[in-house]
Amino acid sequence: MTQDLQSSVPLAEEDKAGGWTKPLATGVLVLADGTFLEGEGFGAVGEAVAEVCFNTAMTGYQEILTDPSYAEQIVTFTFPHIGNVGVNDDDLETTNSAARGQVRGLVVFAPVTDPSNYRSRAHFDAWLKARSIIGLSGVDTRALTTLIREKGMPNAVIAHSPEGVFDIKALTARAAAWPGIDGMDLVPPVTTQAAHEWTETGPIPARLAAPAHRNAHRVVAIDYGVKRSILQLLTEAGCAVTVVPATTSAEAIAAMQPEGVFLSNGPGDPAETAHYAVPVIQDLLARKIPVFGICLGHQMLALAIGAKTHKMRQGHHGANHPVIDVTTGKVEIVSMNHGFAVDAATLPPNAVETHRSLFDGTNCGLRLTDRPAFSVQHHPEASPGPRDSHYLFQRFVTLMEERGS
């Protein structure tokens, strides 16, 4: 990590007396304060501005990089070996073949190796190029993670140039001028453009306890940037799922006669998405339709009942987060990916906090006492991550069954 602000020069060093030459840096990460990190660029060539976060998961890099919730972010992986098992079609989290509002870049410690896994269908580097994602390896990711923990998630530019020539001052200025995710509605680029039915189940059975008559429960999933694995688990739990755009009206949803409505995950500032999402959710709650929300969907439900959200300093990103179910005392290890949180102190009397982070005490779940609705901040679909929270999908099915009885 350095503060050298030389402009438009190859980032390499030579010690003629010692007889060594530092390898040419073909990639850089330039923070808004002028700090920059050198390394080896891979994946797509070019530059991208985004917010830098860190993820502590030890597996599931493909799921992370295709999760629409990471739109406008650069992911620093704390696990050193990324890309070593290649990529495949089963682990994609986008719900179509095109990249939708995806992650802008990734920072890793070790160079990407050739894939070594029977499920691999392509080299990680080639896959990144095809999706226009920029990679940077050879970075002290521990130091970068420490910086994020101490100072918060910075705005930055990640750049890859095979010639190793970078205008550091210009890149710094671009990072500093970028307004950041706070205040951005990032849902429009990632939501589906038209309503459609979803029937796909997961490639690896989740062993959910589905009702005797599969696909018996009509569910409308409002797509704020939904993960493929969530829709797969809803289907496996016995739901006939219709995915609709984020701006779909409450009247249009009600006309579909759903037994339940699912509020999906997604990127961006929830307070901005709330401008069009909250009135719809409030209408659905008034109709007493069962509602289940995950991640951004959790925040949307909270905002719909009058609570507030706030930007987190470092966010929660990883597959090893401890969350306590305060209603049972059970501790679950879960996957998380969010940079905003619900302020539990602003929850109204008709909302009960059901889950709480054991890392920092932030709210991770709520249930309404006067409406059939609940939500969680973490990702119970566990892709990637442990399956401790799979029961929440069955809880949603049970809620619909009780409402229909």
What CATH number has the domain bearing residue 337? 3.40.50.880
CA angle 185, 231, 397 (to 5 degrees): 110
Instruction: Write out pLDDT tens, residues 272-309.
Output: 999 999 999 999 999 999 999 999 999 999 999 999 99
Q: How far apart are CA 149 and CA 1, in angstroms?
A: 16
pLDDT score of 384: 72
Statement to judge: residues 273 and 224 lie in one domain? yes
Statement to judge: residues 357 and 390 lie in one domain? yes
Statement to judge: residues 253 and 356 lie in one domain? yes
- Element (DSSP H or E) covering residue 9: strand 7-10
Domain final residue, candidates 177, 204, 221? 177
- The one catalytic residue in 53, 239, 295, 364 is 295
Strands (E), 134-235: 134-137, 155-160, 165-167, 196-198, 217-223
- The one catalytic residue in 338, 355, 378, 379 is 379
Statement to judge: residues 226 and 344 lie in one domain? yes
Q: Cβ(124)–Cβ(115) under 8 Å? A: yes
Whether residue 116 lies inside any domain: the answer is yes
Statement to judge: residues 110 and 216 lie in one domain? no
Whether residue 191 lies inside any domain: the answer is no
Cis peptide before 348 (omega within 30 of 0): no
Antiparallel, parallel or unpaired: β 291-294 and 331-342: unpaired
pTM: 0.93
pLDDT score of 40: 97
Whether residue 22 lies inside any domain: the answer is yes
For residue 168, CA distances in Å to 38, 39, 104, 174, 216 come to 11, 14, 19, 10, 58
Q: What one-character-per-residue DSSP string does 60-108 give?
A: -HHHHHT-GGGTTEEEEESSS--STT-B-STT--SSSSS--S---EEE-
Whether residue 182 lies inside any domain: the answer is no
| DSSP one-letter code for 224 | S
Least Cα distance to 337 among 299, 306, 304 occurs for 299
Residues forming beta bridges with residue 74, ordered by sequence position: 52, 105
**379 assigned to active site:** yes
Whether residue 289 lies inside any domain: the answer is yes
Low-confidence ranges of the chain (pLDDT < 70): 1-22, 96-101, 203-215, 385, 405
pLDDT score of 382: 79
Antiparallel, parallel or unpaired: β 196-198 and 351-357: unpaired
Q: How far apart are CA 241 and CA 153, in angstroms?
A: 36
pLDDT score of 62: 95
**378 assigned to active site:** no
Helix (H, G, I), strand (E, B) or coil at 206: coil
pLDDT score of 149: 96
Statement to judge: residues 144 and 208 lie in one domain? no
Domain final residue, candidates 146, 177, 208? 177
- Element (DSSP H or E) covering residue 322: strand 309-325
Whether residue 185 lies inside any domain: the answer is no
Domain final residue, candidates 119, 142, 177? 177
Whether residue 138 lies inside any domain: the answer is yes
Statement to judge: residues 83 and 114 lie in one domain? yes
Which CATH number is 15's domain given? Answer: 3.50.30.20
Q: How far apart are CA 347 and CA 303, in angstroms?
A: 9
Number of structural domains (the chain) is 2
Statement to judge: residues 226 and 158 lie in one domain? no
Q: Cβ(377)–Cβ(338) under 8 Å? A: yes
Q: Cβ(365)–Cβ(355) under 8 Å? A: yes
What is the domain extent for residue 97?
Answer: 7-177
**332 assigned to active site:** no
Statement to judge: residues 227 and 296 lie in one domain? yes
Whether residue 183 lies inside any domain: the answer is no
pLDDT score of 3: 46
Statement to judge: residues 200 and 294 lie in one domain? yes
For residue 201, CA distances in Å to 206, 227, 395 come to 9, 13, 19
- Taking each continuous run of H as one helix and of E as one strand, the counts in the chain are 9, 21
Statement to judge: residues 23 and 172 lie in one domain? yes
Statement to judge: residues 203 and 298 lie in one domain? yes
